[in-house]
Amino acid sequence: MTPKPYRPFVSEDTKMQEFTLRAVLLGLVLTVVLGAANAYLGLRAGQTIAATYPAAVISMAALRLRGGSILEENLARTAGSIGESIAAGAIFTIPAFVISRAWPAFDFEHAYWKSTSLMMMGGILGVLFVSLVRRVMVEDPELPFPESLAAAEIHKAGQRGGEAAKYLFYNIGLGGVSYLLGALNLYGQDRDFFFRVGDLGRSFVRLGTGATANTLPVGGVSKFAAPSVSPAYIGVGYVIGPQLASLNVAGSVLAWGLLVPLLIYFLGPDIQKYVPGAGGEAAWDGLANAVWRFFVRPIAVGGMMVSAAYTLFRMRKSLGIGLGKAFAELRGVRPPMATLGRLERYMSSKTVFAGIAVIFVLMAVLYVNLSGKLGGGIAAAVVMLVTGFFFATVSGYLVGVIGSSNNPISGLTLSTLIIAAVLMVSLGVSGTSGVIAVLGVAAVVCVSSAVAGELLQDFKVGYILGGTPRTIQIVEIIAVVCASLVMYFPLMILHEGNKNLGGIGFRRPG
């Protein structure tokens, strides 16, 4: 029995406004605001959150007041959500240039054009890379795309009238209230009032170190042991289902419930030799976090690299089909654009490959300029191109499984740093120029991976709602350029603000 063809929310033959000036302008405003907010959140908390939900709600509310269509709302949300990806790529890599003293300062003269070039080239590459494999991944029935489904439902709720939208905003309010209750000290000494598992944590630490209950610092164990509850993660867990949610929980339990106490136990009194700052009067939560940082997290990064390679191996057939179609178009095997249906219109492979070639040349010139070495700059550009496509595809797959909120961009960046560093050293590129080349590769690949994952998520929402793929690609490139041009300024303001409050900005102490 042949499966029924997929039918989007807006059928292919429906005439509806989509690419309009008001939708694009609203999306660009959202991408700047939400990108800046995520830059602050990422620098403070070490992670960003998906901007697709607030962008969907705001675009729906703003455009419906002026009679906007659901495809306009989708386009505004698409443009509005990409700023978060640019911010994610920037915060995980750009400060490293200053911390490593590869850049003398983070002022406008020394850092603006370099930061903007890296972000813009990485963002455009992310759009081009994911365009090559868009169809096979979006139409893969095994990828649930949890956040895409949720974002599509937000837009559908607005179209179904006031009753559906009412429940949407009720639940937004409920999530906000539960978050505030968790953040305020209303129910005890620590904010995690939903769970009181301090005794369990105390047992873990006592098992790991042989300490007695009387030797444990007051308050340290409860902070180490009590998990925080996030309405966002509850919602993502509900959307992705019990199987994938269980995998996420299993990773946390394996790390904090097994590996951390086990390593503390076996390291014992010699822990100071292996974990900087551990031992003595260090609080137990600080000790646990140090073990996680220097032991467990590198283990996780290694596991991610292996799983990324295995993921691509599993996807080899579908990727081969997608790339085969793309190369076939280079030989002229594509119907004219005018003969294609609206849902079959997308950026031609000739344009995509030409864009990748132009970006490669520009990045080679930039890397040579940054590192001061011709061979090192060209080698860095080659490494960037190969690892960029590799991790952009992996990022898209991970977003299809767990959503962009849980997309481990920082882990992919660490993997890129390791690969780039090994290759640069093997090619004889070392010293300051080597550091700059490695960080330059990491910056572009990080931004590219973040944008690729977000764009694939947007493609899936468009696939569900009936958006035009080519229109989505065009507005994403516009939004990437806009976000890259302004993202330096939030980073600079946060850098200067931290120094004015007594911090050191992005620069390391000493």
For range 45-50, the mean pLDDT: 66
Residue 214 has pLDDT above 50, yes or no: no
Give tens-digit pLDDT for 318-366.
777 777 777 777 776 566 655 667 777 788 888 888 999 999 999 888 8
pLDDT of 189 above 50: no
Give pTM, 2 decimals. 0.76
Distances (CA, A) of 148 to 104, 245, 467: 42, 16, 13
- DSSP state, residue 270: G
Instruction: Give the CA angle between residues 349, 351, 352 to the nearest 5°.
Output: 60
First to last CA, the chain: 70
Q: Looking at residues 139-144, what average pLDDT do you find?
A: 78
Asked if residue 66 has pLDDT above 60, the reply is yes
pLDDT digits (tens, 9 = 90+) for 453-474: 888 889 999 899 988 888 999 9
More confident residue, 288 or 427: 288
Confidence of residue 508 (pLDDT cuts 50, 70, 90): very low
pLDDT, mean of residues 138-142: 79
pLDDT of residue 475: 93
Residue 170: the pLDDT is 72
**DSSP 8-state assignment for residue 189:** S
DSSP state letters, 106-151: -SHHHHHHHHHHHHHHHHHHHHHHHHHSHHHHHT-TT---HHHHHH
Phi, psi (degrees; rounded to nearest 5) at 261: -65, -30
For residues 140 and 484, the model is more confident at: 484
Residue 494 pLDDT > 70, yes or no? yes
pLDDT top residue among 58 and 481: 481
Query: What is residue 221's predicted lDDT score, i.e. its pLDDT?
Result: 38
**209 pLDDT more than 50:** no
What is the distance between the alpha carbons of residues 311 and 293, in angstroms, rounded to a whole number?
25
What average pLDDT does range 15-38 have in this prediction? 90
Q: Indicate if the pLDDT at residue 212 is higher than 60.
A: no
Q: Residues 6 or more apart from 115 whose CB is under 8 A from it?
A: 90, 94, 487, 488, 491
Tell me: the pLDDT tens digits for 260-284? 888 888 877 666 666 665 555 456 6
With 60 as the cut, is the pLDDT of residue 501 above it? no
Closest Cα partner for 443 from 221, 2, 161, 116? Answer: 116
* pLDDT > 50? residue 234: yes
Cα–Cα distance list, 311 to 108, 175, 390, 460 (Å): 41, 34, 10, 20
pLDDT band at 168 (very low <50, low <70, confident <90, very high): low
Q: pLDDT-derived band of residue 165, with 50, 70 and 90 as boundaries?
A: low
**What mean pLDDT comes out for the span 418-444?**
79
**Whether residue 217 has pLDDT greater than 50:** no
What distance lies between CA 420 and its chain's CA centroid? 20
Q: What's residue 472's pLDDT?
A: 92
Mean pLDDT throughout 420-428? 76
Helices vs strands, H then E, count in the chain: 22, 0
What is the band of 315 on the pLDDT scale with cuts at 50, 70, 90? confident
State how far the Cα of 14 lies from the Cα of 371, in Å rounded to an integer. 53
> How far is residue 97's CA from residue 115's CA, in Å, rounded to a whole number?
10
The pLDDT assigned to 23 comes to 92
What pLDDT was estimated at residue 200? 40
- The length of the chain, given as a count of residues: 510
Contacts of 217 (CB under 8 A, 6+ apart): 283, 284
Range 89-106 average pLDDT: 84
Which of 57-71, 313-327, 496-510 tops mean pLDDT? 57-71
Q: What is the 3-state secondary structure (H, E, C) of 397-451?
A: HHHHHHCHHHCCHHHHHHHHHHHHHHHHHHCCCCHHHHHHHHHHHHHHHHHHHHH
For the chain, what percent of residues have pLDDT higher than 70?
74
Q: Which residue has the higher pLDDT, 93 or 312?
A: 93
What confidence score (pLDDT) does residue 74 get?
Answer: 92
Higher pLDDT, 68 or 361: 361
Q: Which residue has the higher pLDDT, 122 or 348?
A: 122
Give the pLDDT score at 480: 93
Q: 């299809």: which residue's tokens?
A: 400
Distant-in-sequence, close-in-space partners of 460: CB < 8 Å, separation ≥ 6:
138, 145, 148, 400
Based on C-alpha coordinates, what's the Rg of the chain?
Answer: 24
Query: What pLDDT, on a 0 to 100 scale, did the predictor assign at position 484?
Result: 93
- φ/ψ of 63, rounded to 5, equals -80, -30
Q: Given CA atoms 392, 399, 486, 64 in this order, what sign does their dihedral have?
A: positive
| DSSP secondary structure letter of residue 212 | -
pLDDT band, residue 509 (cuts 50/70/90): very low
Please, what sign has the CA dihedral across residues 156, 168, 38, 494?
A: positive
Q: What is the mean pLDDT of the chain?
A: 76
